[in-house]
Amino acid sequence: MNGEVVVTGVGVVVPERGEGIHATGPWFDVVEELGPRGYKYLPPASQYLLAAARRAVAGGGGLGHVPAHRRAAAVGTNGALRSYFDDADRAVTAGHSDDLSPAGAPYFAVNVLSGRLASEHQLKAFSLTLTSPRVAGFEAAETGARALALGRADVLLVAAMEHGLPHHAPGLEPEQGAVALVMEPRHLAEERGAPVLGTCFTRAGFAPPALASTPEGRRRLAGQVETAAARLGTDPIVCPVLDDSPVSRALAAAVRNAGLTTRPALAAGGGCLTPLLRLARLFGTAGQPHLVITATAEGNFAFGGMRPIRSAQPTGSQPC
């Protein structure tokens, strides 16, 4: 691939409650968002995903400039089917598998959720679903961008979706909603006059929590922070999404020791939505590079970087 990966469209569908993405009451109208027919019985996370993707695709000028076999998707989630699995377990244990709803029966595997997305937008190059705790959205962007670089597609829909609390995240806030990004090679976006909102890179890794508490582990994680920051250029603004785990604490210390400007940290939620949402909200609004960092108690960590395009005419920098 010649040139950088850029974001040309962003779509966000989350409860409007400040920075929070958990609502206790109705906030999503499936008929208003998607239409009166064909969507009512989809799992909520799939509905959120489709709505966010529609907004992202519309913002990027559509996908009609790319043939279907060159369009792709990479989606991250942790808890998108938690409520469905719980309902199915109750139905079977209290009765019989015949009691399962025919409308929900197809959703036996999390990767099925992105099938409707691929069908609706004719994404025939590939469709991937990643599920690593907290970092799945960034992993989706990283994996998809690697596929773009290898020439497997010309445009990529990257998304994160959540509905509830995954099994691995007790004590954390549930997440609801979806965020989607349209990503493509910069030279192709500029050739068609697309609204280039900024360049994007993501990188995910793993650090055993016991190692993160040692001097050697902290040194290695500090090196990861320095490498990610250097990729964005001079003095990126860091936007943390962290918990109180050893890897999170080591990353926060590395940022402080590097003297990087840091926005107030957001508390990590139970899924992978918050980090990608924080990154997505920067595109087209931030006037300087930003780096979103996140980590989990299990040891997963990830970085998501945004660098504005000089000619993009940002509306001004704002806290991420």
Last residue of a domain, one of 146, 173, 191: 191
The C-alpha R_g of the chain, in whole angstroms, comes to 19
Contact 119, 103 (CB under 8 A): no
* Residues sharing a CB contact under 8 Å with residue 11, sequence separation 6 or more, in sequence order: 51, 52, 53, 54, 55, 56, 57, 58, 59, 178, 179, 180, 181
Whether 317 is in a domain gets the answer no
Whether 301 is in a domain gets the answer yes
Q: How far apart are the first and last CA of the chain?
A: 30
Residue 155 and residue 298 in one domain: no
Residue 210 and residue 157 in one domain: no
Q: Per residue in 32-60, pLDDT tens?
A: 999 988 888 888 999 999 999 999 999 99
pLDDT computed for residue 106 by the predictor: 74
Residue 148 and residue 179 in one domain: yes
Whether 320 is in a domain gets the answer no
Determine the distance from the C-alpha atom of residue 287 to the mean position of all C-alpha atoms in its chain, rounded to a whole number.
21
pLDDT computed for residue 199 by the predictor: 94
Whether 318 is in a domain gets the answer no
Burial, 30: exposed, middle or buried (Cβ in 10 Å; 0-12, 13-18, 19+)? middle
Whether 284 is in a domain gets the answer yes
> What CATH number should be reported for the domain holding residue 265?
3.40.47.10
- How many whole angstroms separate alpha carbon 134 and alpha carbon 152? 26
Residue 226 and residue 294 in one domain: yes
Which amino acid makes up residue 124? K
Helix (H) or strand (E) holding 177: strand 175-185
Residue 35 and residue 167 in one domain: yes
Residue 129 and residue 249 in one domain: no
Residue appearing with tokens 């190692």? 211
Half-sphere exposure for 108 (CA within 13 Å, toward CB): 5
Residue 223 and residue 182 in one domain: no
Low-confidence ranges of the chain (pLDDT < 70): 1-3, 17-25, 85, 88-89, 98-100, 103-105, 310-320
Whether 118 is in a domain gets the answer yes
Last residue of a domain, one of 137, 163, 191: 191
pLDDT computed for residue 17 by the predictor: 56
In the chain, count H helices and then E strands: 10, 10
Whether 211 is in a domain gets the answer yes
* Residues sharing a CB contact under 8 Å with residue 171, sequence separation 6 or more, in sequence order: none
Residue 156 and residue 282 in one domain: no
Which amino acid makes up residue 241? V
Residue 127 and residue 110 in one domain: yes
Residue 178 and residue 87 in one domain: yes
What b/e readout covers 257-283, taking b as 16+ CB neighbours within 10 angstroms? eeebebeebbebbbbbbbbbbbbbbbb
Looking at the whole model, is its pTM more than 0.85?
yes
Q: Which domain holds residue 178?
A: 5-191
Residue 152 and residue 116 in one domain: yes
> How many domains, in total, are found in the chain?
2
Last residue of a domain, one of 161, 191, 221: 191
Whether 107 is in a domain gets the answer yes
Residue 154 and residue 250 in one domain: no
- How many whole angstroms separate alpha carbon 268 and alpha carbon 174? 10
